[in-house]
Amino acid sequence: MDPFQTVAREMKFLTGNIRSLLGSGHPTLDTVAKYYTQSEGKYVRPMLVLLMSRATALTPKIARAGCGSNSVDAPITSSSTLSDDNPDASISHIAHDTAYTSADSDILPSQRRLAEITELIHTASLLHDDVIDHSVARRSAPSANIEFGNKMAVLAGDFLLGRASVALARLRDPEVTELLATVIANLVEGEFMQLKNTARDEKNPVWTEDTVTYYLQKTYLKSASLISKSCRAAAVLGGSTPEVVEASYQYGKNLGMAFQLVDDMLDYTISSEELGKPGGADLELGLATAPLLFAWKDNKTLGKLVGRKFGEKGDAQKAREIVLASTGLQQTRVLAQDYVDKAIEAISPFPDSDAKNGLIEMCTKVLRRRK
């Protein structure tokens, strides 16, 4: 079963609603902010939020004051925090989108909005990431930093975070606000950890188990935090019991880890054309990811190259050859499979449903994906 079909109706409105959230009276900002919405992304995060919302609709609930009574659907009046005479007025359209008119759906309006918020935060991180990584392409088109320059790309990312924060505040759920605000901090923490390949910045680092632990913690912060905490937030908004909330989080955490491990494999195995962004970028950026860390365990000559971030002529090529000749890629796949198994295990107590099957199918898709 295609997980997309399970939430196809909700997904249909996603891009339009995200674009509504990003309207600005400043025409250039409007263009830059909406730039990555022109090319269809994979929408992994919103799809997971919608599937989790639907799958947890059938699980036990707590009596929860205010559950489902947030202001996401409320018409925005002149007493709103956003006045009508400034460029922000365009955000008021979000309250009337057709996606939110179906009262009979088991997915709450707040959960649909959460799906959009996760994509906004993700896209903001990509705008910043492409500046940091000096990227030239994203989603088979020039990246925003190339098209508009670093300054506008960074500012547009900030704007997305601002609009995501407004939409989050309107959910009127402090726990969910805290979860998603923590994600933004986690993304930055992960990116800071990535500035170093190992916990201690040494010229000739020695491989230890801590090397992998450091990489996995960075991977959680950089990638799995958004997926895990947004799955958790979906269950919180649905008024699920603490057990279900925790299971949703565990599913997202493990799937998120697998997602990034596969991402790190694809950087070695798939061409730039197929990826829609530069392949082989990690070594060029000085990054030692899972395939290399596993190869390093068996081939200690890599330590020196890791220490100088593959910065000397021929380093990246040499490291690539060692990784490709090693079992690093297979070991990475095995680890990704372990995480996926844990993700599926986490939601095994949920009652059977198409949405639960969709969540399981997402695991298979993550392992099989080529971009």
Asked if 132 is part of the footprint of ligand FPP (rule: CB under 6 A), the reply reads: yes
CB of 81 to ligand FPP, least distance (A): 22
Candidates 198, 202, 191, 222; CA nearest to 212 is 198
Binding mask 79-108 for ligand FPP (x = CB under 6 A): ------------------------------
3-state SS class at 76? coil
Q: How many residues bind ligand FPP (CB under 6 A)?
A: 18
In eight-state DSSP terms, residue 90 is: G
Candidates 109, 55, 42; CA nearest to 245 is 55
Q: How far, in Å, CA of 134 to CA of 72, rounded?
A: 37
Asked if 267 is part of the footprint of Mg ion (rule: CB under 5 A), the reply reads: no
Binding segment for ligand FPP among 166-174, 183-191, 329-337, 358-366 (CB under 6 A)?
183-191
Q: Which of 34, 45, 113, 277 binds ligand FPP (CB under 6 A)?
A: 277
CB of 59 to ligand FPP, least distance (A): 29
Is the Cα dihedral 102, 37, 192, 326 positive or negative? positive
Q: Which of 121, 233, 265, 323 binds ligand FPP (CB under 6 A)?
A: 121
Q: Which of 88, 97, 116, 129 binds Mg ion (CB under 5 A)?
A: 129
CB of 64 to Mg ion, least distance (A): 38
Asked if 265 is part of the footprint of ligand FPP (rule: CB under 6 A), the reply reads: no
CB of 265 to ligand FPP, least distance (A): 12
Structure tokens at 335: 């680890």
Q: Which of 170, 222, 253, 320 binds ligand FPP (CB under 6 A)?
A: 222
**Quick count: other Cβ atoms within 10 Å of Cβ 205?**
20
Amino acid identity of 126? L
Q: How far, in Å, CA of 96 to CA of 80, rounded?
A: 15
Show the beta-strand stretches assigned E in the chain. 137-138, 141-142
Candidates 97, 100, 71, 76; CA nearest to 88 is 76
Our CB check for Mg ion shows the closer of 10 and 133 to be 133
Our CB check for Mg ion shows the closer of 127 and 179 to be 127
Structure tokens at 16: 């339009």
Residues 6+ positions from 286 with CB-CB distance below 8 Å: 197, 309, 310, 311
Residue 147: name its binding partner from Mg ion, ligand FPP, none (Cβ under 5 to 8 Å by kind). none
Q: Which residues bind ligand FPP (CB under 6 A)?
A: 121, 124-125, 128-129, 132-133, 135, 157, 161, 184, 187-188, 191, 222-223, 277, 281
**Residue numbers at the binding site for Mg ion (CB under 5 A):** 129, 133
